[in-house]
Structure 1
Amino acid sequence: MSTHSIQQENALRTARFLISMGHMPSDVLANPLIPEEFREWVAKELEKESNRTFEKAKVIATAADSADWLDGVDRDEWYYWPTLRSYLLGVKNRPRDSVASLDDASDTVLRQLRPPGTAEFDVRGLVLGYVQSGKTANFAAVIAKAADAGYRLIIVMSGVDNGLRRQTQIRLSKELTGYSNNPHDAVPLPPSGKQWHKFTSDDFDGDFEPGRASHAALQGSEPVLLVVKKNPAVLKRLKQWLITAPSGAKKNLPALFIDDEADQASVDSRGSIQTEETYDPEDPDYTSPAVINGLIRELLLIFSKRAYIGYTATPFANILIPHEQYDPVAGLDLYPKDFFIDLPKPKGYFGTEEFFGRFDPGNDEKVFGLPVLRPVEVEQIAALLDDGELTDSMDEAMVAFVLGGAARALRGEVDAPCTMLVHTTHLNLKQGPMRAVIEEHWRELKDEWRYDRKGGLLDRFQKFWDEDFVTTSGRVNGSPLHKFEDLVPHIGKFMEAVEVREVNSAAGDVLDYEKEPSLKAIAIGGNKLSRGLTLEGLLVSYFARRSLQYDTLLQMARWYGYRLGYHDLTRIYSTGELLGWFADLALVEHRLREDMQIYQQVPGITPKDVGMRILRHPAMKVTGSIKQRSTTVTVESESYSLQLEQTIHFPLQDLVRLGLMCERNRLAAIELIQKIGQPVRLEGKEYAPMWSDVGAAPVVEFLRAFDFEFTDSGCVPRLMADWIEEQNHHGGLVNWTVVIRGRETMSPKLGSVKWLPESVGFVHNIARTRIKGSNSLGVVTTAGDEAFGLTVEQVKAAELLMTQGGPKSLNRAARMVRDSSSGLLILYPISRYSGYDENSSPAPGSARAPLFANPDGGEARDLIGFAVSFPGAAKDRPSSSYVQGTAKWTQLI
């Protein structure tokens, strides 16, 4: 960056910090710390940040009884979150709107916990983020606020190796605990009485050891922080140390467990499938949980006040945990019984959808990805792995790394870290020879640039820059276009700075961006580069590690993250198969979050009531087979083509709810009738006023306004409205017939409809009894009703179908002959006296019952039901197959 730009950013950083300390923006802009020449620019940037809105996290939770506890907390005496907030604004230079979004999202998580003063609690939840999207930032904020609110012990389980544990420890040390020497890039060391007890350290081998811990800290007022890896030996040491702590401390100590990458190692892959009620101590087939899963559960049971939050971007295995799984030693499993939270996608984040695009065959929705994907032939991968051959695709990827790195320097990011990822196998034995091939070719490229660039390399670089980079950047909105001659001075300097490193347990090379913040590296590896570890400034990825599991494949996509300013310079080299699979996974992620959004809109729904469904792929598995051992597979057409949908469920056992529903639906029906004009009454069917040539819009509005019983997963009016609008794009369902289907003759007991406008005339109520002991009417339609609106020729065609081996009912045949452009909506006015007139009164011993035990009571209501007859679709959706756990997905709205 130029000196002027650096000074601007420092002025903005200072302004953000001062505002975070409580100063008014007007006073801040007049402060001598903000140079006068930058004040106008700083003011505009602050205004932009203030005006930007942020998306809220989606929540499905049981905490209705405690949702407001945080609102009653006095934050004036808080220390840890205000300090972290000031650090993010003033040291890390985070935009104010970004910090405000973090503040809101971390509040959302904290609200789902219980007040630390509660006598006993056991809360378990799951927070869903995106791969490399800032989940650590969220749980750091949650930890800070939990400590401010009174949680005293925080145990963070991070990764399964020392590198990932250390990475998390350093992050939390900088953002929460500080250091005694108060370095400039960390929060200040808290004052006496606020300092953290840290029983794990930033060292590579700084994991938990009892000799470095003191039980006395568990009885004091200062918070305790441990960052441990998910390793059996470590967790056993921690468990034993906690068991031997004073019992009073364990009973009164509010403990918060953060499980980072909660789908890795934490999910049980061995234990018997059983609930507390079905547990049989004599069962010879009983199997205890997998070691790490069992130890985590046993750690939770040590405390009377405990909260467990799993964080992951690939929640498939966690969603499929049996939701009442029980073990006599370990207790309940880690199913997130209390809450699911879906964090919003951060501004500037690039994930699966952004890189690979998304196509939904259900509705033809397309999202285009960045034009940075470069297919590699499988044969080239094999030649590189098996024959040690430097292939054309690897050579091109290395040139792309050179040019991309030089372009970042040209854009002012000279000191920014830059990385190239080479991940083609998990086998260390093959990574070593590959490193030798790549390292040799890198030396050749450097030497040719140093001593003989005009012999062809310069022209080759320029040709590649003009044909690939200029073209690509031109297709990415807002990306600067550079001339090759401006790039040339940066190429050699970049190449000289690059090192080739082999990152695995055998080679011992590491990527430590803390010690080397400007590191330029080609990183060759496998498992150590496949999860959790952030590759700073990742420009080029050469990825060919084939995995058949959703979670494994997504986690290996280390190119996800924040790429603003150089997203047009990134490149992903992979096989066509893998590039296609990642695009498919974008749809999997999208559908999962869509379902969470639907659930969020239904009050009272909890994770124990319903589960997430996960879209299946024809070639891949959702997660490991053993983690799917209690799942079921369902196939859904997601289509209303040739379907009859009718309202058969009403809350007849909740008359207050029923009264509200009936009033809403009466108003919706009146509004529909007022919009569609005057009806006709056909000869022989005078009992049923009918409207023809009705447009789709009033029908859609009626369906969206219609209140319904959300346990009726088969008849969801708002989903039908979506289907109609989707079909409208293809010329389907644009013309409607609307009918009010009254009784052929009047029954004095059932009466007539009282809510119709006078212009419609009389309509007699019909009778529909309910299935005894339920809220279901079973059916509202009558045989032949679906023939309303058919022409004479269509009726004859339907009857012909019935005589030629087709459907046996006229209703089904009517659907088959109705034109795809036409739909039928039938309203059914149902009398509250159903079951009390001579024709509908249930016979003794019948499975039917009247609608109401006391139809003359003040809470009994006439009902309005409806049926929609859908013809064959103008454009149908394909069927979809889903995996579900023991908590089932339910279509609620």
Structure 2
Amino acid sequence: MNPLLRALEGIVQIDIGLLPKPLTAEKIRAAIAEQLKNQTFSGKVSADEAEQVARLLEEKHGISMGLGAIVDAKDFVPWLNDAKINGDVGDFYWGRYRQLLFKKGLPKSVIEATDTVTDKVLDRIGNPRDLSRWSRRGMVVGHVQSGKTQNYTGLICKAADAGYRLIVVIAGIHNNLRNQTQARIDEGFIGRDTGRLAHANKAQRQKIIGVGQFDQREFPVSLTNTLRDFNKATATTNTSQIGQYNVPVVLVIKKNSSTLKNLLEWLKEHSVHQGTQMVSQPMLLIDDEADNASINTAYARDEVTRINGQIRELLSLFHRSCYVGYTATPFANIFIDPDTDDEALKQDLFPRHFIIGLDAPSNYFGAQKVFLDARDQHVRLIDDNEDVLPMKHKIDHPVDVLPGSLLKAVRAFIVARAIRNARGQQAAHASMLVNASRFTDVQGRLRSRIADVVGRIRDAVAVEGGKGRAALHNPEIAALHAVWEEQYANAEGADWSAIQARLHEVLVAARVVEVNASKRSQALDYDQGGEHGVTVIAIGGFSLSRGLTLEGLTVSYFLRNSIMYDTLMQMGRWFGYRPGYEDLCRVWIPADGVGWYAHIHEAMDDLQTQLKRMELAKATPEQFGLAVRSHPESLIVTARNKMGTGKELPVKVGLAENLIETTRIVLDGPQLRANIRAGESLLAAAVKSGVCAVERSRGNLFQGVGVDLIMDFLREYRTEPGARPVNPLTDPKLINDYIDARAGSELEKWDIFVASSTRRDMKSLTFAGLDVVPYELSVDTDLAKSGILAFSGASRRIGSSEDESEGLTDKQIADARETFRLSRDDQKLPKTVNPRIYRQVSGRRPLLILRLVKPKLEATRSTGDALHGVLAWGLSFPSSQIGGGTVEYIVNTIRMREMFGEEEIEEEALGDAE
């Protein structure tokens, strides 16, 4: 933030401090508007900058949290309210946890929202005092690193107050995540350090923590601890039967076949009722990261993956049970056996009773902020790795030198930590993430090299750090200074002299650790920080990608690639909360990854929006699942989920309210030229039919073009010479079938928008008599070697989302944007809006977008120097009123493997799971 905006923030901060409570978004903006009349700021602060200050003040003073959407089964019958009135639900465990949240400094509004949401979940998991047999399945969809653990800890407390006697938390497939989750359950539910309880020395066994500080009357029994997963012998020593205890029994176990086998055997030996062979006490099972390893991905219909089968068997042992899956990436859960019939659906873990979407608090540091709203501030591109650490490498790849971008990222972390200390945050933790290889051996080599770098900087600071400006003669300190100038010179409290004075304490505390399934791995123990907090650089792969929280994550270096939404989102450990240091956060990532994350954010936003629409329509979870599966992106998810079959899979695909774009085109000169001619013929035919081009700020618009001309163009345009499309989403058969069904009504007339890039340094090209500025885009280097142009990484988005507003009137655009703003829980309009709002405008025509693209690739020379760019198109489909709204498409999984490669299997994950 520049000094002028910082001054504005400071003055408004004083103003709003005098305002009556509660403080609202409107009051903050009114105070800013009043100050903008002052000559100090008048005409010097733009509307976007004023909004930036408003949001910063909102996060500091009025963190809000929406209540989310709920999709229920038709047979849902609420029970919680009556149970509370009748005195059947206590407040002991939740009361303690609520006190702990207040003590941690969470805003009252967030705690109240957590209270409300957990009540909604509790009301749907089954009344533990109902003695009839029941089994319920549900799912809670949150955001990566947004507080799902806080939510299910609150749910556990309330379930215990309501009468649940066994609570099982399945916490990821790695020991470090299980241990971390156990520690959080210790703090938020148990109230004692279970690691100390397991200690042999009885004098050291009792350590009251967390909620135990408020009330110690009824400690739950834990059959696991922070040192050890479930063990049959230990459990038997504690109790022979679950029913012997008047307090809840809790287990935090790893998502591991051996652990689940031991638990099943122990329950069968000690707790089942002999007459029914079932456990009579009610059980709640929380499945954290529910999309990982729990899903039945066995390829044959009569097979079930081991963990999926064991979870189902565990649930079946109980007369009364509930399964609640928590995830930020529900794609796999929605796709649990897409071809199943109703009976199979009832047997699997599909959330058939309820799906609840959690809204993140307003101070959530997520994909919207990182990759859209403040991309220039937070994102740094990696473009120097291929020679030393290529994206694709083998397990024995040497790491003799580090990419310059990684060196810069390490130095940025050290400088950022020094700034945080200068801001008075030295007691807080600070972490850096390095996720650059799936192989643990390569991760080990990276750790060694990074440790060498940190060691050299530490030595330089120890010798030269106290010499003031003279220290800059040392190359290591000079390199830190250069990073400070480039990244943080304008940051608050970032004077170089103050930073240099803090470097010694930062580097003495800094540790470089490996977090994976190897024997070299070290635990991320944030309890050892003391008054100075932990400063750690964590190098890993899959272990860092699933659920593990990196406290105070400030800098990330992410050199990975995957097409799968869930894999990418879970690897996004940089999302979360950054109070007091959000401006210092940096993410180093390849350009392709930036496009992917921006695209995935839109997909997740669509999913949450659809969930809210389903709630209003009183739809069921099964109907929501079908709606998500019909989205065009489902082609990838479905095929990859069934990749092992190598068979053709029928998928129902809906194109209504969706954008389909060509971003994968074969490098074939004659075909590329033929595509250009097809586009020019289309526009010539449109003009001949009486349609005139209207010049717009971003291109030229043709309105009211007949569907026959559009169909002719799509038949002539080819993504490759053969019959098979490079991208199944642009398969002419899929699109033609959909348009054919609507050609006489909804899709009879089209708009065509010939888009131009807004870059001023690009020369225009002539296309169909129009001056068109091409889009210069990067392409996937590996795919280009195989003869395929994959534009904009793999995000399938070339131009601006605002292009889809073309063809609408100014009033329609304004009304659509206002509708979108009101649909958001914070009721703010972000800089980048979801383009789906333009597709939903009543009566709008479908839109064909044509773009010329200049690929940044030497291989394009083979297509001929005279080529006028590459023609790409996008189809923006409006809402559809035609029943069904889908067409059937056959996905060949072998072809999908050719396109996208095998799903990445982590070496460390396999080693840890077996």
Counterparts of 1:383-782 in structure 2, within 5 Å, are 383=389, 386-452=398-464, 453-457=471-475, 458-471=477-490, 473=491, 480=492, 482-504=494-516, 505-516=518-529, 518-603=533-618, 605-607=620-622, 610-613=625-628, 624-626=640-642, 632=651, 634=653, 636=655, 638=657
2-structure distance, mates of 1:381, 1:207: 48
Segment of structure 1 superposing worse, 291-300 or 196-205:
196-205
2-structure distance, mates of 1:559, 1:625: 26
Q: CA deviation at 1:382?
A: 3.3
Residue among 213, 216, 226 paired with 2:251: 226
Q: Which runs of 5+ in 1 are unaligned?
A: 1-46, 274-286, 358-366, 474-479, 642-726, 736-778, 788-818, 824-866, 883-887
Alpha carbons 1:530, 1:558 under 8 Å: kept: yes
- Other-structure match for 1:183: 208
* Pair 1:203 & 2:227 matched: yes
Aligned residue identity for 1:549: M
Question: 1:475-506 deviations in whole A, cap 9, x for unaligned?
Answer: xxxxx353222222112211221111122313
2-structure distance, mates of 1:416, 1:500: 18
Alpha carbons 1:338, 1:608 under 8 Å: kept: no
- Residue identity over aligned pairs, in percent, reads 29
Q: CA deviation at 1:567?
A: 1.2
Aligned residue identity for 2:480: F
Aligned residue identity for 2:248: P
Q: CA deviation at 1:470?
A: 3.0
Segment of structure 1 superposing worse, 101-110 or 426-435:
426-435
SS at match of 1:258: strand
Alpha carbons 1:318, 1:335 under 8 Å: kept: yes
2-structure distance, mates of 1:516, 1:49: 26
Question: 1:294-347 deviations in whole A, cap 9, x for unaligned?
Answer: 010011111121111000111110010137858999970000101111001123
- Return closer, same or farther for 1:580/1:187 CA change in 2, 3 Å cut-off: same
Q: Which runs of 5+ in 2 are unaligned?
A: 1-57, 193-204, 391-396, 465-470, 661-695, 705-740, 750-805, 811-840, 851-872, 879-883, 888-914
- Return closer, same or farther for 1:325/1:214 CA change in 2, 3 Å cut-off: farther
Alpha carbons 2:96, 2:214 under 8 Å: kept: no
Counterparts of 1:239-254 in structure 2, within 5 Å, are 239-244=264-269, 245-247=271-273, 250=278, 252-254=280-282
- Other-structure match for 1:648: none
Aligned residue identity for 1:267: I
Alpha carbons 2:545, 2:571 under 8 Å: kept: yes
Alpha carbons 1:60, 1:607 under 8 Å: kept: no
Q: Greater share of helix residues, 1 or 2?
A: 2
Residue among 294, 305, 312 paired with 1:297: 312
Aligned residue identity for 1:78: D
Residue among 364, 367, 377 paired with 2:383: 377
2-structure distance, mates of 1:601, 1:329: 28
- Other-structure match for 1:348: 363
SS at match of 1:221: coil
Counterparts of 1:835-850 in structure 2, within 5 Å, are none
Alpha carbons 2:93, 2:189 under 8 Å: kept: yes
Aligned residue identity for 1:468: Q
**TM-score normalized by structure 2?**
0.60
Rg larger in structure: 1
- Other-structure match for 1:701: none
Question: 1:185-242 deviations in whole A, cap 9, x for unaligned?
Answer: 44348655x3322211221445565434534332543221111111111111111222
- Other-structure match for 1:29: none
* Pair 1:78 & 2:54 matched: no
Aligned residue identity for 1:56: L
- Other-structure match for 1:140: 153
1-structure distance, mates of 2:886, 2:633: 21
Counterparts of 1:37-52 in structure 2, within 5 Å, are none
Alpha carbons 2:430, 2:552 under 8 Å: kept: yes
1-structure distance, mates of 2:96, 2:809: 63
Alpha carbons 1:612, 1:889 under 8 Å: kept: no
2-structure distance, mates of 1:73, 1:731: 63
Q: CA deviation at 1:433?
A: 2.1
Residue among 161, 170, 175 paired with 1:157: 170
2-structure distance, mates of 1:579, 1:782: 40
- Other-structure match for 1:836: none
Aligned residue identity for 2:251: L
Q: CA deviation at 1:130?
A: 0.8
Question: 1:788-818 deviations in whole A, cap 9, x for unaligned?
Answer: xxxxxxxxxxxxxxxxxxxxxxxxxxxxxxx
Alpha carbons 1:613, 1:889 under 8 Å: kept: no
Q: CA deviation at 1:636?
A: 1.0
Alpha carbons 2:141, 2:358 under 8 Å: kept: yes
Alpha carbons 1:298, 1:329 under 8 Å: kept: no
Alpha carbons 1:636, 1:879 under 8 Å: kept: no
**TM-score normalized by structure 1?**
0.61
1-structure distance, mates of 2:316, 2:493: 59
Alpha carbons 2:419, 2:493 under 8 Å: kept: no
Question: 1:758-803 deviations in whole A, cap 9, x for unaligned?
Answer: xxxxxxxxxxxxxxxxxxxxx99999xx99xxxxxxxxxxxxxxxx
Alpha carbons 2:166, 2:284 under 8 Å: kept: yes
Residue among 71, 74, 81 paired with 1:60: 71
Aligned residue identity for 1:382: V
Alpha carbons 2:114, 2:151 under 8 Å: kept: yes
Q: CA deviation at 1:265?
A: 0.8
Question: 1:342-397 deviations in whole A, cap 9, x for unaligned?
Answer: 0011232112222112xxxxxxxxx5546211111153573486452133212211
1-structure distance, mates of 2:587, 2:416: 12
Q: CA deviation at 1:410?
A: 0.8
CA RMSD of aligned residues (A): 4.1
2-structure distance, mates of 1:459, 1:309: 53
Q: CA deviation at 1:635?
A: 5.0
Count of residue correspondences:
605
Q: CA deviation at 1:105?
A: 1.2
Alpha carbons 1:427, 1:526 under 8 Å: kept: yes
Q: CA deviation at 1:873?
A: 5.1
Q: CA deviation at 1:293?
A: 0.3
2-structure distance, mates of 1:240, 1:386: 45
- Return closer, same or farther for 1:301/1:331 CA change in 2, 3 Å cut-off: farther
Q: CA deviation at 1:731?
A: 12
Q: CA deviation at 1:182?
A: 5.1
